[in-house]
Copies of this chain bind each other. A is one copy, B any other.
Amino acid sequence: MSAMNRQVRLAARPVGLPKRSDWSFTEEAIPALKQGEILVKVTHLSLDPAMRGWMNEGKSYIRPVDIGEVMRAGGAGEVAASMNPDFAVGDKVAGNFGVQQYAVSDAKGVRKVDTRFVPLSTYLGVLGMPGMTAYFGLLDIGKPKAGETVVVSGAAGAVGAAVGQIAKIKGCRVVGIAGGAQKCKYLVDELGFDAAIDYKAGDVKAGLKTHCPAGIDVYFDNVGGEILEAALARINLHARIVICGAISQYNNTTPPRGPANYLSLLVNRASMTGMVVFDYAARYGEGARDMAQWIKEGKLKAKEDVVTGGIDAFPETLLKLFKGENFGKLVLAL
């Protein structure tokens, strides 16, 4: 127990994109475990767009990370010591471990995972929060019916790629919006999307017109901004818009941009509904069962963008999300 634990803490509330100086690096000795606790050697950290929101002050769906606190992060790793009868040394686990090399946990919210068929990092992606977000956001809020057109933004990201594939499994026409020809090719060729629109290459509105000849029935939004407006302009009667995120707006230093054409909701008697995955915690088992089955059947593929820079690379690696540089679920290997 004399090993040192290197940690990344929030040093300042970022203005715009988080800078290296918004973080501090600390090392402290790993404390002795108390009854019921486990020590996890964290091997993989989940880097997610939502982290940007957790750095801000103010009321949100989860309390902000305090200044000086270890940055909140999902992670996966191996039990290195246990004072909890449910966990043995060597167990592979996933949980909310924070941006640090070792986590002492009371084991609440920590789950043992099976790495015989999928790599550990998959439990941060399609079998983790992003996968559950896609599953419940699409199926519970979006309620796609076979034959309908589903559009998803951030389509090459962890959530978006799963949304599109689940929609295909449900018999929908699926159009993804992503940045870059390589990502768009991947969506169509590897994941089976019906079409992909490269927002960096051209006009998303025109792309939606071309690829959604029957309009949009479900729009799953991860990005906000102009792309949300482009989708609103093409929705059908009784369309459902799932608001999962708005990565285009997270680093704004000016007030966020609201969808100027939101009255399309009125014209089309459509809805726009926010979702937060934590609300579905009691049903994660249901989602994980379906998702694992689809992976086994080859219907659901997961791509992870695993960066091997170690914990000190956290600040720069996180920025890949906001620059659209990640390709698949962004994971930092420690």
Contacts and interface: CB of A to CB of B under 8 A. Distances in A.
A73 to B, nearest CB: 20
A244 interface: yes
B262 A243 contact: yes
A117 interface: no
A249 B275 contact: no
Nearest to A272: B272
Contacts of A265: 243, 272-274
Interface in A242-282: 243-246, 249, 255-276, 279
Nearest to A265: B274
A250 to B, nearest CB: 10
A279 B269 CA distance: 9
Pick the most buried of A60, A268, A271, A276: most chain B CB atoms within 10 A of its CB: A271
Given A271-B272, A272-B271, A273-B271, A245 B266 contact: yes
A59 interface: yes
A258 B229 CA distance: 10
Contacts of A267: 59-61, 274, 276
A267 to B, nearest CB: 5
Number of copies of chain A assembled together: 2
A75 interface: no
A74 interface: no
Contacts of A273: 265, 269-272
Contacts of A128: none
Contacts of A268: 61, 274
A77 interface: no
A262 B263 contact: no
A263 B249 contact: yes
A224 interface: yes
Contacts of A279: 269
Interface string A145-176: 00000000000000000000000000000000
A258 B262 contact: yes
A269 B260 contact: no
Interface in A20-57: none
A264 B59 CA distance: 10
Contact of A244 (B244, B266, B270): B266
Given A258-B258, A267-B276, 12 more contacts: A61-B267, A229-B258, A243-B266, A256-B260, A256-B262, A256-B263, A258-B261, A258-B262, A259-B259, A265-B272, A269-B276, A272-B272
19 contacts: A224-B263, A243-B265, A244-B266, A245-B266, A257-B258, A257-B260, A258-B258, A258-B259, A259-B262, A262-B272, A265-B274, A266-B275, A267-B274, A268-B274, A269-B274, A270-B273, A270-B274, A272-B272, A272-B273
